[in-house]
Amino acid sequence: GCVLVVSVIEQLAQWHNSTVKAAMERLCNYIPGKYQIIHHVNLVLLIDREMNADVVCHSLKLCKQDPGQPLCHLYPPPKVMGRGKHLPGLFYALAHAGQKRQIKSFMGFSSVCAFPLLANLCEKIKYVIRNKLPFEDFDGDKFSTFPTLRGYHWRGRDCNDKNITVYPGRRPDNWDVKSDSNCNGIWGVDPKDGIPYEEKFCKGADSQGVVLLGDSAGAHFHIPPEWMTVTQMSVKSFANLPMAFTDELDWPQFSEITGFLNSTIGGWTDSLYLRLRRRNRCNHRDLQNISQNGGSSGNLLYLIKSLARNQLLDNPAIVIYATIGNDVCNGNRDTLAHMTTPKEMLSNVVQALRYLDSRLPNGSHVILTGLVDGRFLWDSLHDRYHPLGQLNRDITYRQLYSFLDCLQVSPCSGWLTPNETLRNLTSERALQLSNVLKEIARSEKFANFDIFYMDFPLRQTAEEWHKMGGEPWQLIEPVDGFHPSQIAAALGTSITWQKALHEWPQVLGKENPFNDQIEAIFKDQGGH
């Protein structure tokens, strides 16, 4: 965190030909009010032309070297003149910094929640990270009228947050003659013939919801590159910071499975939910994105308990089970020893499926998605410049990956490494775990849903993007160099849909012949 902030300040000073103090003020003015904690960070005295961000942050003791561990750095170590020769490395630079200034003790970024303006917000975020349920949910039905903090960006929007029996995805109460019990916008009686609209348009229409059980890729993790690209930086760059912060840096509203809003982070939005909704307008708002950053087959067993589905009262659902990387991805030095084994994968997934069988209405479907082959990441990015390195052409993804690995916070030590053997071994384990999922889909039977398997469509996505004139690196999130980008998410939806249409048409349900009539009535009533 410190290296990132100091890098941006230094580059702002360079780009605008200003002092460090002026650059820091500029950055503070870009950031929305309560998030201006950088004002409390006394970095100005330490930053000068001799010191890169690594030196500053080690001097502040925000970056430290544990005994027996390497000294982690993002930038090439500075070369400082001394006694007629260059003395390379951080050690000299740190000693030099210490001689020049007395370094005061520093509170650290980990204590940002101690700031009064952020304390309340931090408590809310801790709650939703712990429970994976909407913070603003007055009737306790697990649906909300508030967008972030696990609200309707993650689950269909509640249309009555004072009534626990009203929520997206339920079967209509008495055909919704008097009110909209399932929040799909269809209720009341047609005055021409006295038939309830819900009965007329949705009876026998195979209405069903879509649920994602996933990880940060499914939640659609994204750090906007404009937050650290000083040549494009402005007040507008940080306008989405409060929303991103309260959505855990995830953007489920644009995601591959449950996206429903037009993307504001590049690319376009296409999702399984939107396609199911176009196929049957009665499916409106019936979505749940139950994903978390770091989600794996193991911790999904806890996460799955936040599912909102009543076996007796609700419509069936299509559940996508997609933990595409974290069972082989970790930041440990001995990364192979910390990967999920095939035996553990089998146990975790079968437990999850048994839980789903006790919760999903009869007639539901489950699709198990295989793990990705993450060698694509290194191959596509390692020699390209990261957004932080584009101004001075001094930081490649190879350097970023090494820095994160040194800090033991790499999202995936097995794939984000120059060690080709380790990358291959990681992909080998991912394939073994995918084969476990494939075998489960072939052999296991459950009372309330059928079960299917599909490979993660990375190869087909890359081929499709190539045909459109795109480059492989554009399919990867630029800041973290790890997650699928908005373009990859949208293309993945199209490929998954085509596969389902051809191989499992029963999963998608039939086309609702009344879609046009429903939309026409909505138009007549001003969209209400």
Give 84's pLDDT tier (boundaries 50, 70, 90): very low
pLDDT value, residue 66? 86
Q: Are strands 449-454 and 317-322 parallel, antiparallel or unpaired?
A: unpaired
Known catalytic membership, residue 207: no
Determine the angle formed by the axes of helices 458-467 and 486-503, rounding to 10 degrees. Answer: 110
Q: Of the ranges 4-18, 98-112, 239-253, 493-507, which one carries the lowest mean pLDDT score?
A: 98-112
Alpha-helical runs (H) found in 258-413 = 272-279, 300-303, 342-357, 375-381, 397-406
pLDDT, tens digit, for every residue of 414-446?
999 999 999 999 999 999 999 999 999 999 999
8 Å CB contact between 386 and 5: no
Tell me which residue of 496, 502, 511 sits closest to 367, measured CA to CA.
Answer: 496
Residue labelled with tokens 């996508």? 320
pLDDT value, residue 105? 43
Domain boundaries, the chain: 1-77+87-108, 207-518
Q: Phi and psi dihedrals of 209, rounded to 5? A: -100, 175
- Segment 88-92 mean pLDDT: 58
Tell me which residue of 44, 47, 45, 67 sits closest to 55, measured CA to CA.
Answer: 47
- Report whether pLDDT(498) > 70: yes
8 Å CB contact between 389 and 485: no
- Report whether pLDDT(86) > 50: no
Structure token digits, residue 187: 């209720």
Residue labelled with tokens 């370094």? 103
Query: What is the DSSP annotation of 448-511?
Result: SEEEEEE---HHHHHHHHHHTT--GGGGB-TTTSSSB-HHHHHHHHHHHHHHHHHH-HHHH-PP
Q: Phi and psi dihedrals of 106, rounded to 5? A: -125, 140
**In degrees, to the nearest 5, what angle opens at C-alpha 31 toward C-alphas 27 and 36?**
90
pLDDT value, residue 46? 63
Strand-pair partners of 319: 211, 366
Annotated catalytic residue: which of 144, 181, 207, 216?
216
- Report whether pLDDT(108) > 50: no
pLDDT value, residue 99? 52
**In degrees, to the nearest 5, what angle opens at C-alpha 420 toward C-alphas 418 and 426?**
105
Structure token digits, residue 399: 């350097």
Q: Of the ranges 55-64, 105-114, 137-146, 349-358, which one carries the lowest mean pLDDT score?
A: 105-114
- 294 CA to centre of own chain: 10
8 Å CB contact between 122 and 115: no
40: left (phi over 0), alpha (psi -120 to 50) or beta: alpha
pLDDT value, residue 33? 78
pLDDT value, residue 14? 95
- Segment 133-157 mean pLDDT: 97
CA–CA dist 466, 332 (Å, integer)? 34
pLDDT value, residue 39? 52
Look at the domain 207-518 and name its fold: Rossmann fold (3.40.50)
pLDDT, tens digit, for every residue of 191-219?
999 999 999 999 999 999 999 999 999 99
